[in-house]
Amino acid sequence: MSTDATPELIYLPLRDAKKSPNKKINLMVKVSEIRKVLKSRGSGYVLTLKVFDQSELYPGIFVNFFADNLNRLPQVKSVGDILSIHHVEMKFNEGEWYCTSNLKLSSFALFNGGNVLNLSPYQSSVNYQPAPHDEKLFLKLRAISQNQDDKVSAVDEPLSLFCNIVSEEKHTIVCKVLHIAETSDADLVLFVWDGTDSPLVTLRSDGHSLNMEGDMNDPMGPMVSLLSREILHTFPRVGTVVRIIVTKCFDDVSCLKGVGYWIKLCNVVFETQLGLWKGSLDPSSTIHILSNEDDSVQWRQRIYDNRISSKVHRLPSSSFPWPSDVTETDCSFTSYSTLMESLAYPEVLHKCRTVVRVVSSYPWQAKDLRSPESGLYRVRLTIEDSTARIHAYIFGEDGEKFFGGYLPNCLLTEKMNKLLGIRDGGCSGSVLRNPPWIWCCLKSYFLDKNDPWGSRRYRIFGTALLG
């Protein structure tokens, strides 16, 4: 932070600023809320930020920035960052104090609010000039603890983890944005994560569900084109990545830029589709950017760190206390991997032992499991864990091993019912099923040596389905 600047600037605490209505003042404050950018009544734009300082931790005040160009508005990276603003005007209207900044006359600078050594702004207006005593006040603001920051949070609703979400109820969640995609309808899909596993979804028992429940190629589910290996490689290896649908009618997305940052989403409604969780925003929903130093962010990061370092906690949480004994494997020596770990493995060929449940089977009826021409098993299972969903094939000798030889259809039916979680009562669409978590040995292979990644597939081997 340079000291080669105008010497006469005086920063007012917010408490004193409220005693100077309609006068030009200077403020150095912390950002507690980032609102969406809106069109102003004229041809310009307005951005609203909520700010606080040591004199007024709660509730703080709103600052409205007006500019004729979007690029001239403050681009706040994170809640908790420090804002210096010069020549702004304090107003009082309908019982509420607020501040206005016309960027033709005012100026600003934005600084990282975290515990970093850099004292230089990451953005400033062209006419901004710091004062010699800026640094002292700046360091006082940066020293405000994260617990104090939490007091000025714009939303007081209790926070939900993905592991505790309930269908068709509104939740406030803190999550990390891993990827943003666009659907064919121009809606946005946010791929978000908080380190926990989403609740287990009970599946239907009708024939369509058993055959086609997983008939999509995207390991993260339908609605967007297949995610590339490069994108999957950036996803965490443990914890569910949940899709949040943001329709083009929802205009509070201007703060979403790039990926890799944490946000608070308020009033998100969750539901399941094809056995996968997804969320959606409605007009009452809001989006808030969070600092990496936020307590709720650091807690979720610790959840992940603890899970990734533990052999037991890396398993799907709904398999607790241990997967079922429906299968046994030959390769108990092989290291355990989640499906996301295997999908992001740097080499085409990968062999692992994993814990999954069988979402669907094509075919699924015992009489169709073997090829009418060769008499050998050929089955495509759709398997999932808490991180991804993929197709895995069983054929040839692996099928003979898996099903325990060439059994009568009545015995094969019993085994498939156990694998798919079909209870006594048949396959009526009104009957729900809950497939067991099973151990299996999984390996990837490719069909075309000229396009190994593009033709990559998975097969189950060394695994027996017990009677």
Residues 40-75: pLDDT tens digits? Answer: 777 788 888 989 888 887 778 899 998 888 888 998
- Boundaries of domain holding 324: 317-465
Give tens-digit pLDDT for 286-339: 888 888 878 889 899 999 998 998 888 889 998 887 889 999 998 766 688 999
Does residue 220 surpass a pLDDT of 60? no
Place of tokens 């003042």: 25
Q: Which residue has the higher pLDDT, 288 or 144?
A: 288
Confidence of residue 275 (pLDDT cuts 50, 70, 90): confident
Q: Which residue has the higher pLDDT, 258 or 91?
A: 91
Q: Report pLDDT for 74.
A: 92
Asked if 275 and 256 sit in the same domain, the reply is yes
Does residue 407 surpass a pLDDT of 80? yes
Report the chain's mean pLDDT, rounded to a whole number. Answer: 84
Residue 262's Cα: distance from chain center in Å? 9
Mean pLDDT on 150-156 = 44
Confidence of residue 116 (pLDDT cuts 50, 70, 90): low
Q: Please check whether residue 1 lies inside any domain of the structure.
A: no
Asked if 169 and 211 sit in the same domain, the reply is yes
Helices (H), 261-408: 295-308, 339-343, 397-403
Q: Are 374 and 381 in contact (CB under 8 A)?
A: no
CATH code of 222's domain: 2.40.50.140
Asked if 134 and 256 sit in the same domain, the reply is no
Q: Are 195 and 340 in contact (CB under 8 A)?
A: no
Last residue of a domain, one of 98, 129, 151: 151
Q: Report pLDDT for 418.
A: 92
Of the listed ranges 155-169, 286-300, 422-436, the least confidently predicted one is 422-436
Asked if 240 and 341 sit in the same domain, the reply is no
Q: Report pLDDT for 214.
A: 45
Q: Please check whether residue 2 lies inside any domain of the structure.
A: no
Does residue 36 surpass a pLDDT of 80? no
Q: Report pLDDT for 410.
A: 92
Opening angle at CA 241, ends 457 and 273, nearest 5: 80
Of the listed ranges 205-219, 340-354, 382-396, 450-464, the least confidently predicted one is 205-219
The three-class DSSP label of residue 255 is: coil
| Residue 379 to residue 23: CA distance in whole angstroms | 76
Q: Please check whether residue 9 lies inside any domain of the structure.
A: no
Q: Are 138 and 103 in contact (CB under 8 A)?
A: no
Give tens-digit pLDDT for 236-259: 999 999 999 888 767 666 667 778
Confidence of residue 154 (pLDDT cuts 50, 70, 90): very low
Confidence of residue 218 (pLDDT cuts 50, 70, 90): low
Does residue 147 surpass a pLDDT of 70? no
Does an H or E element contain 25, and which?
strand 24-34
Confidence of residue 8 (pLDDT cuts 50, 70, 90): low
User: Residue by residue, what is the 3-state secondary structure of 397-430?
Assistant: HHHHHHHCCCCCHHHHHHHHHHHHCCCCCCCCCC
Asked if 180 and 120 sit in the same domain, the reply is no
Q: Please check whether residue 368 lies inside any domain of the structure.
A: yes
Confidence of residue 142 (pLDDT cuts 50, 70, 90): confident
Mean pLDDT on 260-282 = 89
**Residues 332, 335, 339, 345, CA torsion sign:** negative
CB atoms within 10 A of CB 307: 20
Asked if 206 and 139 sit in the same domain, the reply is no
| Residue 173 to residue 158: CA distance in whole angstroms | 9
Asked if 182 and 97 sit in the same domain, the reply is no
Confidence of residue 151 (pLDDT cuts 50, 70, 90): very low
Does residue 441 surpass a pLDDT of 50? yes
Mean pLDDT on 176-202 = 88
Task: Please give the tally of structural domains in the chain.
Answer: 3
